[in-house]
Amino acid sequence: MYFLDSEKLFIVIRNNLWAWLGISIFYSVLSVYPQEVIYRHFFIHRYAVLFSSPRVLLLVNAALFAFAHIIFLNVLVLLLTFIGGILFGLTYQKSQSLFLTSFEHALYGVWIFTLGMGEMLAFPMLNSNNLL
């Protein structure tokens, strides 16, 4: 973000720490957890029998997870969510922990928001003209 748009780097924390905290909690509970229930827990337990290999299951799961983010009309979002889908899928396959996978997903998402890239994921951008 420093090189792309340094004005937005850490913009939310710089302008409204409480809004950052609230959005981070809201995102983690109401967005991340349901996504992990659907894309990791439900999908893997329900459809694992259809795949001959855990790797193929993982790639299909990551592709579907990325496709769910197509509404943002952003190639970078699709790439990041595909990579995230692989990482979260690996974590879930190894740990079988919905909590751990959700925590990892929340950390990455909040980090992207914190860096100032939240706009591409429909997080509200907070600047001096728009303090929640």
Can you give the pLDDT at residue 128?
45
Residue 131 within any structural domain of the chain: no
The pLDDT score that the predictor gives to residue 131 is: 46
**Does residue 86 sit in helix, strand or coil?**
helix
* Structural domain includes residue 30: yes
Enclosing domain of residue 58: 20-121
Full-model pTM? 0.87
Q: How many domains does the chain have?
A: 1
Pair of tokens at residue 7: 């004005």
75 domain residue, yes or no: yes
In a domain, 90, yes or no: yes
Residue 5: the pLDDT is 81
- Is 107 within the bounds of a domain? yes
For residue 129, is it within any domain?
Answer: no
Dump the DSSP string for 6-31.
GGGTTHHHHH-HHHHHHHHHHHIIII
| Nearest 10 degrees: Cα torsion 118, 122, 127, 132 | -120
Could you count the other beta carbons within 10 Å of the beta carbon of residue 42?
11
> pLDDT value at position 84?
97
Check the CA dihedral 63-69-71-76 and report its sign.
Answer: negative
Asked if residues 132 and 19 have their Cβ atoms less than 8 Å apart, the reply is yes
Taking the chain (132 residues) in consecutive chunks of 10 residues, what is each chunk's mean pLDDT? 84 90 93 96 96 96 97 93 98 97 96 86 58 48
